[in-house]
């Protein structure tokens, strides 16, 4: 690791986004998603699955009150993943074990949103909800409604499955965001108090366990960044160091030896420093890798950084869909083996691509490399955005690359592939995760250190940085042109990512190039014009991937395109694109010459060259699919 290349993302308060594309998304989150999700958390959305999230905090608050008063409280089992009206009494905890995290993710998104757009009414609501949350905290700092309501004696007894440390992680992230957005410490103090309890309980002389669902690692680092108290960094490091040690902690607790998968699902099969292949539950994976990257950087741990580099390579070069989606199998919502990237069975969870972006930013903060910035862009402009409808009112959990609605309804192997976005999920991780990522997109565009300002994503913004006041006027997504106006506070270096898709590019000033970044010496107020070339490209997937042979995907700039039934009729598999497609870019869509094969009459017949009729194919950006009712969709098209 070269420490001179280390950088940190900017505080959102230093970034004002002026980009029309992104402002529309930010406004959608502020106006539609955040209010809708508030109602959902409060079980006030007709027809949606009950969340129970706020209800649980209110129940826990009452229990906490009784405990403070020395009153006795009832005990209920904590042995399930999900508690509902059929398996739990009304006074017990309800919902998934990780239900608290939905409240935290909402508060985190509000914290970010308030920086971008102050809103008294929203802040008041959030303050009220934070009071409800904090009222549930026990005097010792413990805060997880499942165990407060159901059984305090079971606290930290099932780290593998019960998500207490996961919920803590989201609490900490929400607390930091809300503190930065409002200056209010109420939730941050609660989170620190819980963190202190965790630091006391875990460690060489305490519990030698680690989270079943990772996130606490990177969340503790955020608390360290906020407080500069190294005990939080040490706690994160402890979780990473203990993970995967043999004999397995989870086996010790359960008193039995694992014979099946050795915790690959939880990335606990071996110690993180020896993990070179991305395996198991994809969201858990990238959350862990994010924490690993944090620790590698803050603790100068070369061994851990080497593992992070290997994991990046494993994903980007062998396990990532062209859309930046990760997690190729529904079984365990997991990474599949190398080059196994089926289109119609993909899991490619919205949350996994969000977590992948968390990981990639941390890797960029350690060593900038256009490969990493390119992957952020791929995930952001394709799988992340496709997670939300254009009206912000419905969401995809799973982001397949090929959809046949008949298969989704009739083939149980494809039941997870939804052809239409859903309003709200009982297990609602993706919508609030989307809200917090989009609201904080500025954190992913730029990083800096005392000498260098990095632009990773060309999002039109006004930035007040340590090095300079910077204005970015971006037409990146359309023409590929970006203007950067700089008023330096001192001499510094500007580093611009050169998108991998842009085979030709030019800058108005001289530069040096390293790892796909162009470096400029800035000594005075100046303007740099960058011209990238978002050509329409036909991309083929490696022939090690068995699903995309003799097919191509159409891309332009960061966007992957797809065919929809609404534009091209049904039986999309009968379409072929011409090798000389005469592409035309029409803003929101691309057209190309192609053919429609004549429908076969028999199931089996002698091969002969297919009869084809010329058609003009119409492609739309992948993130815009499924906004016009149910229909077929395909990213890859035969050539």
Q: Is 538 in the site for a second copy (CB under 8 A)?
A: yes
* Residues with a known catalytic role: 333, 429
Considering only residues 369 to 408 of the shown chain, the ones binding a second copy according to CB under 8 A are 404, 406-407
- Tell me how far, at minimum, the Cβ of 180 lies from a second copy, in Å: 37
**CA dist., res. 241 & res. 261, Å (int):** 20
- Interface with a second copy (CB under 8 A), residue from 69, 86, 580, 602: 602
The closest alpha carbon to 105, from 52, 48, 166, 63, belongs to 166
Give the side-chain half-sphere CA count within 13 A for 102: 30
Site string for a second copy, 204-233 (x = CB under 8 A): ------------------------------
Asked if residues 176 and 83 have their Cβ atoms less than 8 Å apart, the reply is no
Q: Is 266 in the site for a second copy (CB under 8 A)?
A: no
Nearer to a second copy (CB atom), residue 214 or residue 548: 548
**CA dist., res. 54 & res. 39, Å (int):** 10
Q: Which stretch binds a second copy (CB under 8 A): 224-232, 428-436, 441-449, 542-550?
A: 542-550
The backbone region for 215, taken as left when phi is positive above 0, alpha when psi lies in -120 to 50, beta otherwise, is: left
Q: Is 638 in the site for a second copy (CB under 8 A)?
A: yes
Nearer to a second copy (CB atom), residue 112 or residue 501: 501
- Tell me how far, at minimum, the Cβ of 248 lies from a second copy, in Å: 21
Q: Which stretch binds a second copy (CB under 8 A): 67-75, 96-104, 182-190, 539-547?
A: 539-547
Considering only residues 545 to 564 of the shown chain, the ones binding a second copy according to CB under 8 A are 545-546, 549-550, 552
Nearer to a second copy (CB atom), residue 69 or residue 605: 605
Asked if residues 78 and 154 have their Cβ atoms less than 8 Å apart, the reply is yes
* Bridge partners (DSSP) listed for residue 334: 281, 329
Nearer to a second copy (CB atom), residue 21 or residue 339: 339
- Exposure string (b/e) for 124-137, b if CB count within 10 Å is 16 or more? ebbbebbeebbebb
* Residue 198 phi, psi (nearest 5): -65, -45
- Tell me how far, at minimum, the Cβ of 624 lies from a second copy, in Å: 21
- Tell me how far, at minimum, the Cβ of 357 lies from a second copy, in Å: 18
- Interface with a second copy (CB under 8 A), residue from 45, 135, 469, 639: 639
Nearer to a second copy (CB atom), residue 418 or residue 576: 576
* Secondary structure (3-state) at 327: coil
Structure tokens at 10: 């900017």
Nearer to a second copy (CB atom), residue 223 or residue 279: 279
Nearer to a second copy (CB atom), residue 570 or residue 628: 570
Q: Which stretch binds a second copy (CB under 8 A): 430-438, 445-453, 485-493, 540-548?
A: 540-548
Nearer to a second copy (CB atom), residue 124 or residue 570: 570
Nearer to a second copy (CB atom), residue 207 or residue 538: 538
DSSP state of 300: T
Q: Is 611 in the site for a second copy (CB under 8 A)?
A: no
Considering only residues 170 to 189 of the shown chain, the ones binding a second copy according to CB under 8 A are none
- Tell me how far, at minimum, the Cβ of 339 lies from a second copy, in Å: 8
* Secondary structure (3-state) at 256: coil
Q: Is 435 in the site for a second copy (CB under 8 A)?
A: no
- Tell me how far, at minimum, the Cβ of 554 lies from a second copy, in Å: 10
- Interface with a second copy (CB under 8 A), residue from 7, 314, 336, 383: 336
Largest CA distance in the chain: 84
- Interface with a second copy (CB under 8 A), residue from 327, 332, 368, 442: 332
- Tell me how far, at minimum, the Cβ of 636 lies from a second copy, in Å: 11
**CA dist., res. 92 & res. 62, Å (int):** 12
Asked if residues 350 and 334 have their Cβ atoms less than 8 Å apart, the reply is no
Distances from the Cα of 445 to the Cαs of 174, 225, 306, 312, 489, in angstroms?
A: 20, 19, 25, 19, 21
Q: Is 159 in the site for a second copy (CB under 8 A)?
A: no
DSSP state of 422: B
The closest alpha carbon to 375, from 361, 389, 391, belongs to 361
- Interface with a second copy (CB under 8 A), residue from 58, 75, 525, 610: 610
Distances from the Cα of 305 to the Cαs of 37, 210, 291, 308, 346, in angstroms?
A: 37, 20, 11, 5, 29
- Interface with a second copy (CB under 8 A), residue from 153, 605, 613, 614: 605
Angle at 247 between CA 220 and CA 199, to 5 degrees: 25
- Interface with a second copy (CB under 8 A), residue from 539, 567, 627, 630: 539
**CA dist., res. 518 & res. 508, Å (int):** 12
Q: C-alpha dihedral over 9, 10, 15, 19, to 10 degrees?
A: -10
Considering only residues 345 to 364 of the shown chain, the ones binding a second copy according to CB under 8 A are 345
Nearer to a second copy (CB atom), residue 299 or residue 639: 639
- Interface with a second copy (CB under 8 A), residue from 198, 574, 615, 617: 574
DSSP state of 474: E
Q: Is 540 in the site for a second copy (CB under 8 A)?
A: yes
Q: Is 44 in the site for a second copy (CB under 8 A)?
A: no
Structure tokens at 28: 């959608």
- Tell me how far, at minimum, the Cβ of 293 lies from a second copy, in Å: 22
Nearer to a second copy (CB atom), residue 544 or residue 628: 544
Q: Is 498 in the site for a second copy (CB under 8 A)?
A: no
Considering only residues 290 to 329 of the shown chain, the ones binding a second copy according to CB under 8 A are 316-318, 320, 322, 329
- Tell me how far, at minimum, the Cβ of 386 lies from a second copy, in Å: 18
**CA dist., res. 401 & res. 545, Å (int):** 14
Q: What is the 3-state secondary structure (H, E, C) of 137-204?
A: CCCCCCCCHHHHHHCHHHCCCCCCCCCHHHHHHHHHHHHHHHHHHHCCCHHHHHHHHHHHHHHHHECC
Nearer to a second copy (CB atom), residue 146 or residue 404: 404
Q: Is 135 in the site for a second copy (CB under 8 A)?
A: no
Angle at 626 between CA 625 and CA 628, to 5 degrees: 110
State which H helix or E strand residue 130 sits in. Answer: helix 120-135
Q: Is 630 in the site for a second copy (CB under 8 A)?
A: no
User: Which residues make Cβ contacts (< 8 Å) with residue 154, sequence separation at least 6?
Assistant: 78, 147, 162
- Tell me how far, at minimum, the Cβ of 603 lies from a second copy, in Å: 5
Binding site for a second copy (CB under 8 A): 316-318, 320, 322, 329-332, 336-337, 339-340, 344-345, 404, 406-407, 410-413, 537-546, 549-550, 552, 571, 573-574, 597, 599-608, 610, 638-639
């Amino acid at each position: 690791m070269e420490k001179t290349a280390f950088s940190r993302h900017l505080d959102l308060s230093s970034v004002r986004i002026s980009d029309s594309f992104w402002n529309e998304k930010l406004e959608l989150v502020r106006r539609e998603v955040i209010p809708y999700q508030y109602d959902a958390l409060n079980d006030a959305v007709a027809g949606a699955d009950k969340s129970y999230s706020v209800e649980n905090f209110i129940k826990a608050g009452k229990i906490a009150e009784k405990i403070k008063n020395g009153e006795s409280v009832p005990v209920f089992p904590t042995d399930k993943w999900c508690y509902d009206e059929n398996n739990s009494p009304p006074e017990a905890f309800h919902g998934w074990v990780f239900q608290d995290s939905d409240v935290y993710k909402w508060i985190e998104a509000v914290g970010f949103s308030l920086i971008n757009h102050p809103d008294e009414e929203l802040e008041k609501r959030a303050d009220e909800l934070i009071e409800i949350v904090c009222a549930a905290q026990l005097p010792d700092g413990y805060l997880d409604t499942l165990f407060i309501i159901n059984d305090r004696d079971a606290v930290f007894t099932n780290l593998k499955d019960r998500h207490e440390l996961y919920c803590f992680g989201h609490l900490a992230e929400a607390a930091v965001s809300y503190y930065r957005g409002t200056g209010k410490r109420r939730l941050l103090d609660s989170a620190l108090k819980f963190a202190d309890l965790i630091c006391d309980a875990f460690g060489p002389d305490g519990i030698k366990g680690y989270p079943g669902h990772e996130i606490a690692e990177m969340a503790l680092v955020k608390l360290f960044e906020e407080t500069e108290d190294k005990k939080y960094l040490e706690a994160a490091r402890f979780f990473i160091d203990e993970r995967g040690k043999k004999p397995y902690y989870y086996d010790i607790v359960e008193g039995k030896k694992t014979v099946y998968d050795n915790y690959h699902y939880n990335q606990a099969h071996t110690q993180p420093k020896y993990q070179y292949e991305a395996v198991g539950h994809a969201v858990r994976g990238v959350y862990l890798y994010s924490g690993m990257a944090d620790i590698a950087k803050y603790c100068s741990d070369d061994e851990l950084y080497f593992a992070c580099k290997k994991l990046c390579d494993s994903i980007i070069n062998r396990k990532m869909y062209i859309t930046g989606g990760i997690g190729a199998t529904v079984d365990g919502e997991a990474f599949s083996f190398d080059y196994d990237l089926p289109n119609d069975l993909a899991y490619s969870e919205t949350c996994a691509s969000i977590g992948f972006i968390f990981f990639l930013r941390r890797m960029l903060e350690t060593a900038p490399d256009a490969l990493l910035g390119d992957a952020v862009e791929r995930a952001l402009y394709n799988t992340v955005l496709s997670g939300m409808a254009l009206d912000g009112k419905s969401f995809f959990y799973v982001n397949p690359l090929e959809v046949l609605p008949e298969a989704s309804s009739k083939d149980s192997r494809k039941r997870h592939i939804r052809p239409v976005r859903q309003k709200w999920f009982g297990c609602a991780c993706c919508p609030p995760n989307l809200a917090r990522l989009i609201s904080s997109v500025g954190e992913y565009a730029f990083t800096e250190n005392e000498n260098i300002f990095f632009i990773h994503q060309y999002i039109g913004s006004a930035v007040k940085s340590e090095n300079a006041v910077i204005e970015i006027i971006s037409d990146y997504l359309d023409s590929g042109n970006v203007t950067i106006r700089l008023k330096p506070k001192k001499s510094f270096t500007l580093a611009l990512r050169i998108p991998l898709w842009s085979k030709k590019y030019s800058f108005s000033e001289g530069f040096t190039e390293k790892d796909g970044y162009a470096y400029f010496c800035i000594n005075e107020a100046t303007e740099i014009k960058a011209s990238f070339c978002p050509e329409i490209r036909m991309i083929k997937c490696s022939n090690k991937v068995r699903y995309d042979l003799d097919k191509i995907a159409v891309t332009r700039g960061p966007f992957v395109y797809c065919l929809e039934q609404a534009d091209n009729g049904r039986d999309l598999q009968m379409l072929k694109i011409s090798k000389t497609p005469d592409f035309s870019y029409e803003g929101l869509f691309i057209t190309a010459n192609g053919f429609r094969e004549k429908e076969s009459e028999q199931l089996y017949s002698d091969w002969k060259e297919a009869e084809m009729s010329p058609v003009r194919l119409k492609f739309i950006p992948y993130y815009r699919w499924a906004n016009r009712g149910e229909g077929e969709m395909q990213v890859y098209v035969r050539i």
